[in-house]
Amino acid sequence: MNHVVDSTQFSSGRFPAVDALGSGTADSWLRLVAIRRRLWVSALVLLGPIGLLVFVLLACFAVDGPPGFLPVSRDSIARQQRDRRRSIVAIVTLMAAAGAGVVAAYRAGTGVEELTWLAFGCFALAYVLLIRHLLFQHPRASIVRGGAIRLSGVSPAFVDACMEATSAAPQRRKTAAL
């Protein structure tokens, strides 16, 4: 789910103690850096492996937003790391299969076309898994107009707790003023 928060709330980590990645209570913090989403940078992914490499380099070194913290549980961090490892193993295995298919296609005298298509399919599947891993597998923070921060990939329970806390804040201020 997506949720928009104030940049000062994001920087200070003033969130309810609800896990941002799951539905339990939070007992740790996850550090994120908010970035500005630029459409042309995301379009580089469509240019193939070279565009993906340039996209990764720009995403790593062109960070221009404020850092912030999200409440998480240790279980959700472990689950996220396990999913990340599985994705990387799948990507490396498919790339190795693609490389083996290309080598076998050039060494074989017959069936070259089938092996080439198999290698191409393995490479394409690995590319799709890599894009999924880089763009959609973990929570992200991006800067939107007005300096607000959009949190993507957070749990619905976290969004509900944040909305409940922000709607209760004006009520607390009114009763404190009386």
How many structural domains is the chain composed of?
1
Task: Name the pLDDT band for 174 (thresholds 50, 70, 90).
Answer: very low
Complete DSSP assignment for the chain = -EEEE-HHHHHHT---SB-SSSSSB--EEEEEE-EE--HHHHHGGGG-HHHHHHHHHHHHH---S-EEEEEE-HHHHHHHHHHHHHHHHHHHHHHHHHHHHHHHHHH-SS-HHHHHHHHHHHHHHHHHHHHHHHHHSS-EEEE-GGG-EEEES--HHHHHHHHHHHHHHHHHHHHHH-
Average pLDDT over residues 65-79: 88
Residue-wise pLDDT for 13-43, tens only, equals: 889 999 988 878 899 998 888 877 666 666 7
Q: Please report the sign of the dihedral spanned by the C-alpha atoms of residue 63, residue 69, residue 71, residue 77.
A: positive
The boundaries of the domain holding residue 85 are 2-177
> Is 79's pLDDT higher than 60?
yes
- Please give the pLDDT value at position 178: 43
- Amino acid present at 97: A
* DSSP β-ladder status, 140-143 and 35-36: parallel
- Please give the pLDDT value at position 177: 40
Average pLDDT over residues 74-81: 88
